[in-house]
Amino acid sequence: MNKTIQLNDSGVLFNREEHTYELNGKFLSGITDMLQRQLFPDEFDGVPEEAIQQAAHYGTEVHESIEQFDSFWTNDGTQEVADYIDICTTNGLIHERSEYTVTDGMNWASNIDKVFRKSDAVFDIADVKTYGTMTPEKQEKARWQLSIYAYLFETLNPKATVGRLYIIHLRNKLKKDETTDHIANLIEVDRIPSEVCKKLLDTDLAGEIFENPYDIPADIAEQEEEIRHLIQTKKEVEERLNELKSEILSRMEETQVRSWNTETMKLTRKLPSTRYSFDLNRFKSDHPEFNYDDYMKKSTVGSSLLITV
């Protein structure tokens, strides 16, 4: 029988007003400022300070409202709390801790917005965001943030494992055009390996610039315009080829011709036919007692690249 893991206390003193972390008389560094310094230095470029402060104030209000609900079952009646409850209920998220402080015990500390218990020793973690728009850059920053939290969480709790990483995106604000900006999404993000997170933290402590392994190399980025051009050309060529094939097939059907030959090309009209395929999933569902292993043919599929524009 598995033993239910109880989360360890970090021993870190968190000053909510000053937003500082202290352990054994030493102030520890937070994660958010480090990420902005190392990976997202241009995040707030061009954004008025007043707008930044207003967004921070709204975010704090939402965090505190849902924390009150999780801690004391107190519902202030806001849409954001209602949406949070619905997200947790729909996705089976069982609250374990809010604002759970994690640390490496030496240099770093931060608070995880939400810890959800998945099983005796597995926990999901989440960060609550109240952005107006979840841009790819914001989502990537949250991925780094949550991945580092997972690394610190497992350092503090060696017998526990972090399962899934979530962004809980909540927002319910009146816009200038009098419509409501209402957002309630649960976004799962992929975890960055702990060794990469540790390297980032160590690099920052050394006062050096971290080379992000997930940044696209400059020489590849420079090929973007050419790739776009080739994809567009391929699309236009395929469309024109399909038009020609349709015209030729129509002519061959009209004259009941099966093939045409030139010196370098052969055109063959395939007659209509019926194709049969085996629905393996349905067969498995109808016959769960059957052992398929001896009949399954395994083959290796090579790696490939998907380009989305």
CA gap 82, 65 in Å, rounded: 10
pLDDT tens digit sequence for 118-157: 999 999 999 999 999 999 999 999 999 999 999 999 999 9
Q: Which long-range contacts (CB under 8 A, 24 or more apart) does 47-54 make?
A: none
Q: Give helix then strand counts, H and E, for the chain.
A: 8, 10
Q: Which amino acid is at 49?
A: E
Percent of the chain at pLDDT above 70? 99
| pLDDT beyond 90 at 308 | no
Q: Are 123 and 96 in contact (CB under 8 A)?
A: yes
CA gap 84, 75 in Å, rounded: 11
CA gap 126, 290 in Å, rounded: 41
CATH 3.40.1350.10 fits 13-221, yes or no: yes
SS3 label, residue 281: helix
pLDDT score recorded for residue 207? 97
| pLDDT beyond 70 at 88 | yes
CA gap 8, 75 in Å, rounded: 28
pLDDT band at 62 (very low <50, low <70, confident <90, very high): very high
pLDDT tens digit sequence for 209-250: 999 999 998 899 899 999 999 999 999 999 999 999 999 999
From residue 11, how far is each of 22, 25, 110, 120, 182 by CA, in Å?
A: 9, 11, 12, 23, 38
pLDDT score recorded for residue 35? 97
pLDDT score recorded for residue 218? 87
| pLDDT beyond 80 at 180 | yes
pTM: predicted TM-score of the whole model, two decimal places: 0.80
Longest distance between any two alpha carbons in the chain, whole Å: 92
Q: Check residue 47 and give left, alpha or beta (phi > 0: left; psi -120 to 50: alpha).
A: beta
